[in-house]
């Protein structure tokens, strides 16, 4: 049985990512793989929040104010 692996290839435009991963890894006291997993698991929460904010910003004013004519 082979071990499964995921490899992260970082382009030159994102050359700061390995250092960021290292810093978060030390801060969370996790391995690099577990640090990436924690970040990915947390990602949907801010994404959903941003979606709700954008929906509210795009509503017509009549719906925001119930007494609007």
Asked if residue 30 belongs to a domain, the reply is: yes
For residue 31, what are the CA distances in angstroms to 12, 34, 35?
23, 5, 6
Task: Please tell me which residue, 66 or 20, carries the higher pLDDT value.
Answer: 20
Mean pLDDT, range 2-24, rounded to an integer: 88
In terms of residue numbers, what domain contains 18?
A: 12-64
Distance CA 14, CA 31 (A): 20
Residue 10 near residue 17 (C-beta atoms within 8 A): yes
Asked if residue 38 belongs to a domain, the reply is: yes
The pLDDT of residue 64 is above 80: no
Contacts of 62 (CB under 8 A, 6+ apart): 68
Asked if residue 42 belongs to a domain, the reply is: yes
Mean pLDDT, range 37-42, rounded to an integer: 88
User: In angstroms, how far is the first alpha carbon of the chain from the final one?
Assistant: 69
pTM greater than the 0.85 cutoff: no
Asked if residue 69 belongs to a domain, the reply is: no
Mean pLDDT, range 45-57, rounded to an integer: 78
Q: What is the pLDDT of residue 40?
A: 86
Asked if residue 44 belongs to a domain, the reply is: yes
**How many domains would you assign to the chain?**
1
Asked if residue 1 belongs to a domain, the reply is: no
Q: What is the pLDDT of residue 21?
A: 93
């Amino acid at each position: 049985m082979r071990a499964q692996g995921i490899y992260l290839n970082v382009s030159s435009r994102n050359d700061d990512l390995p250092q960021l991963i290292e810093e978060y890894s030390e801060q969370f006291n996790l391995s690099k793989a577990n640090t990436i997993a924690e970040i990915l698991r947390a990602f949907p929460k801010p994404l959903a929040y941003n979606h709700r904010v954008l929906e509210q910003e795009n509503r017509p004013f009549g719906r925001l104010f119930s007494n609007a004519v």
